[in-house]
A and B are shown apart, each in its own frame.
Chain A
Amino acid sequence: MFGNTVRRILRFAIVGQIACASAALAAEPLKIGVILPFTGPYAIYGTKILNGAKLYLSQHGGRIGDREVELVTADDTGVAPELSKRLAQQLLIKDKVSFLVGFGLTPSALTVAPLATQAKVPMIVMNASTTGLTRKSPFIIRVSQTQPQVTEPMAKWAIENGVRKVYTLVADYSPGHDSEKQFTETFTKAGGEIVGSVRYPLNNADPSPYLEKIKDANPQAVFVFLPPGELSIAFIKGFKSRGLEAAGMKLFGTSLTEEAVIDATGDAAIGVITASNYSEPHRSPENDAYVAAYRKAYGEDRPNYMSVAGYDGIALIARVAETKGTVVTGQAFMDAVKGISWASPRGPVQIDPETRDIVQSVYIRKTEKVDGRLENVEFATYPGVRDPQDR
């Protein structure tokens, strides 16, 4: 009885304080530090993610709750960990940001993780996709995807649809290795056979010898992970021109035909089957609104899985503010964010209460021409997928 009274008084005092504090802060803009590559070979991450983040804000009057939002952007040029760290430190100390968001590649996220812990500032990862990244600091949340998360459903779908012999080809760096490992694990456990696997050097522009080798092995399908861009485009084109498709082989992938490169790939992409967490033609009221707004804001530039992660990262801050009734930061944000779910343009998503990684639907898509445009058309859904390496 006495304990209850004390608790009630305490709660009243705390709530009062928070209310006072938020009233004082209402005038001040909420600062969000954005660390992304805007120049160099990974500039596409930066521009697409920032497009998404800005789109959310422009749809909501530049505000989250009662606070005006200021995005403070910084270019970490891709893989330059000491630069990412310095920029993060600067955003924390000089600009006094309440959130650190972005992070195109894993090394930059890893090097900033200890700063987030020390400064108790939530860090929202919008792209870097290595398994277990969120374990590096209790202040990390990821809203993008992990490589195993999108690879597992691809392997499952292959098995469920009668594919038994697969050849894997992955880029020879960590994300490629992760894909190869996950596909092989899921596929062989379910009774499939990997008839050959090869790791593809990142600086190689000519896929021909690899394609010939795969052709000789005669698998039912080829699972490919290559970073979207020059390499993936050359491979998809070669797959068709070297007659692998004509020989009845299927081409499986994850980000292989994502919207930023699909037009450059051209008609050779038709028929490629991929697994991903976001597709531009996804049918839902949220995505219809999102795509319409994106096209209106950025014209010919197409929304893709990167821009939706930028959009959702800001949406997440707003979603937490909505449930708490006011914008919360630091530890209070971290307490509230665990287990939270919302309707994203990509479909229903949730922040895993334990790992703080994203739980989301993964869609199997086939690239088709719809009204003269190449689109990844979804035809199967695996709901509520977690990172299989971290659950």
Chain B
Amino acid sequence: MTPSWEAAAVRLRERERWKSPETVFWCAALVAPFVLPDDHLFLSQIAILGLFCLSLDLVLGIAGILSLGQAAFFGLGGYTAGLFAIHVDGDPLLGLVVAMVATSLLGVLAAPLLLGGRDLTRLLITVAVAGILYEAANKWSAVTGGVDGLQGIVIAPLFGKIEFDLGGTVAYWYALAVLFLVFLGLRRLKSSPFGLALAGIRLNPQRMPALGVPVDRRLTVAYAIGGAVAGIAGALLAQTTQFVSLDALSFHRSAELMLILVLGGAGNLYGALLGAIVFSVAHHLLSEINPMYWQFWMGTLLILIVLFAKDGLTGGLSRLRDHLWKGGTAP
């Protein structure tokens, strides 16, 4: 055991440790519905968007696979959960599991297409896969409802007891619980040997095979897990809004997700969540103030954030913290 190895282990363990800002973050998520009693549905949709964004963070931020087609998984998860509720069983948790299985399968099937190429080719393939699913759902309107969307989804009470309510309170707690569990899993994964291998592949794809890392297999698994997370997010949205439309598969959704991740900061999981919160809240407030021209202000805001925090909100915040520490205002 060399000292540098030991130092690296210490550093890794330090990185894995649960830190106090994290506790603050999740406590805020617990308190939010009491502070905003009228906005539970909105909060639930932020949680779902955050979960969706985590999937891209795993695929792009951690594994380095440039994907502009996460909506493929999101939509497939939504349609699977919706169709499962209509034709088989309305139980929400069972629906989540089925959606997760379906989307991870898609991930495994689509991965070989990706692995053949490099960054831009991969990007195009992810776009193409999502495009194919979009058109398939459009044409197969007998099953999916086409442009009109999938109607008639009835979701059974959670655990057979808790009914989903009009105000979205149950939807929020349900989405938050799922988000937290998935988050814990991804956090573990990130600092596991598997996660470190992914980071290695991202940073130096030529060197990893020389170290004996089966690059293709690692990336396939990462892509499938990322797909499953997006699928769960899609399923949650379908269940909590009882509706799925083609929009869930649209390019627009994938692109917006990329924007949110860049805004929040890629590769550290919290960037995805923070990006989703800031994006949603800004969208909500600006469009409420001015329903006609809010997109102008939204664009301005995004440009400002990118100008002042090139590595996203999380990057900007941590630099701000370092700056303050150096200034001697903190311990």
With a cutoff of 8 Å between Cβ atoms, the chain B residues found around residue A277 in the complex are none
**Stretch binding the partner chain, chosen from B11-19, B200-208, B268-276, B289-297:** B289-297
Q: How far is the CB of B47 from chain A (nearest CB, A)?
A: 13
CB of A82 within 8 A of CB of B241, answer: yes
Asked if B147 CB lies within 8 Å of chain A CBs, one says yes
**Shortest distance from the beta carbon of B155 to any chain A beta carbon, whole Å:** 12
Contact with A along B230-260 (1 / 0, CB 8 A): 0000000100011111110010000000000
Give CA–CA (A136, B243) in the complex, Å.
Answer: 13
Asked if A119 contacts B247 (CB within 8 A), the reply is: no
Task: List, in ascending order, chain B residues with CB within 8 A of A81's CB.
Answer: 149, 241, 243-245, 247
- Kindly count the residue-residue contacts between A and B in the assembled complex, taking CB atoms under 8 Å apart: 85
Stretch at the interface among A13-21, A88-96, A283-291, A348-356: A88-96
Name A45-94 residues within 8 Å CB distance of B.
47, 73-75, 79-82, 85-86, 89-90, 93-94
Residues 21-53 of B contacting A (Cβ, < 8 Å): 38-39, 41-42, 45
- The yes or no answer to A29 lying at the interface (CB within 8 A) is no
- Of the candidates A39, A85, A90, the one whose C-beta lies within 8 Å of that of B243 is A85
Q: Is A172 an interface residue (CB 8 A)?
A: yes
Cβ A173 vs Cβ B138 within 8 A:
yes
Q: Which residues of B contact A89 (CB under 8 A)?
A: 41, 166-168
B287 proximal to A (CB < 8 A):
yes
Contact present for B245 and A174 (CB under 8 Å) = no
With A75-B291, A82-B237, A82-B243 as known contacts, state yes or no: A110 contacts B148, CB within 8 Å. Answer: yes
Measured between C-beta atoms, what is the minimum distance from A322 to chain B in Å?
30
Query: By the criterion CB–CB under 8 Å, are B166 and A74 in contact?
Result: no
Q: Among the interface residues A47, A79, A136, which one has the most CB atoms of the partner chain B within 10 A?
A: A79
Please name the residue on chain A nearest to B288 by beta carbon.
Answer: A74
**Per-residue 0/1 for B61-87: is the Cβ within 8 Å of any A Cβ (1 yes, 0 no)?**
000000000000000000000000000
Kindly identify, within residues 85 to 131 of chain A, every residue whose CB is under 8 Å from any CB belonging to chain B: 85-86, 89-90, 93-94, 106-107, 110-111, 114-115, 118-119, 130
**Which residues of the other chain, B, contact A114 by a CB distance below 8 angstroms?**
242
Q: Is the CB of A73 within 8 A of B166?
A: no
- What interface size band does chain B fall in? 20 to 34
Chain A residues with Cβ below 8 Å from B168 are: 89
User: Can you list, as one digit per residue, whether each of B279-308 has a CB less than 8 Å from chain A (1) or not (0)?
Assistant: 000000001100110110000000000000
- Chain B residues contacting A347 (CB-CB under 8 Å) are none
**A52 CB → nearest B CB, Å:** 16
Residues of B within 8 A of A106 (CB): 147-149
- Cβ of A107 and Cβ of B245 under 8 Å apart? yes
A363 at the interface (CB under 8 A from B): no
**Complex CA–CA separation, A119 to B148 (angstroms):** 23
Contacts of A47 in B (CB 8 A): 292
C-alpha spacing A115/B247, complex, angstroms:
21
The answer on a CB contact under 8 Å between A80 and B38 is: no
Q: Which residues of the partner chain B approach A174 to less than 8 Å between Cβ atoms?
A: 141, 146-148
Asked if B151 is at the interface (CB within 8 A of a chain A CB), the reply is yes
Inter-chain contact A73/B291, CB cutoff 8 Å: yes
**Contact call B38/A111, Cβ cutoff below 8 A:** no
How far is it, in angstroms, between the C-alpha of A124 and the C-alpha of B49 when the chains are bound? 30
Shortest CB distance B276–A (Å) = 14
> Counting CB contacts under 8 A, is A313 at the interface?
no
Residues from chain A with Cβ under 8 Å of B138 in the complex: 172-173
Which chain B residues in 114-132 approach chain A with CB under 8 Å? none
Residues of chain A lying within 8 A (CB to CB) of residue B141:
174, 177
- Interfacial chain A residues near B242, Cβ < 8 Å: 111, 114
Known contacts A79-B250, A89-B41; 20 additional CB pairs below 8 A are A38-B291, A39-B292, A75-B294, A79-B246, A79-B247, A82-B45, A85-B243, A89-B168, A90-B42, A93-B167, A106-B147, A106-B148, A107-B147, A107-B243, A110-B149, A111-B242, A173-B138, A173-B147, A174-B147, A175-B147
Interface pairs (26), CB distance under 8 Å: A39-B294, A47-B292, A73-B291, A75-B292, A75-B294, A79-B147, A79-B245, A79-B247, A81-B245, A82-B243, A86-B45, A89-B41, A90-B38, A93-B166, A93-B167, A106-B147, A107-B245, A110-B149, A111-B241, A111-B242, A111-B243, A114-B242, A172-B139, A173-B146, A174-B147, A174-B148
The 6 closest A-B pairs by CB, nearest first: A75-B291, A107-B149, A174-B147, A111-B243, A107-B245, A173-B147
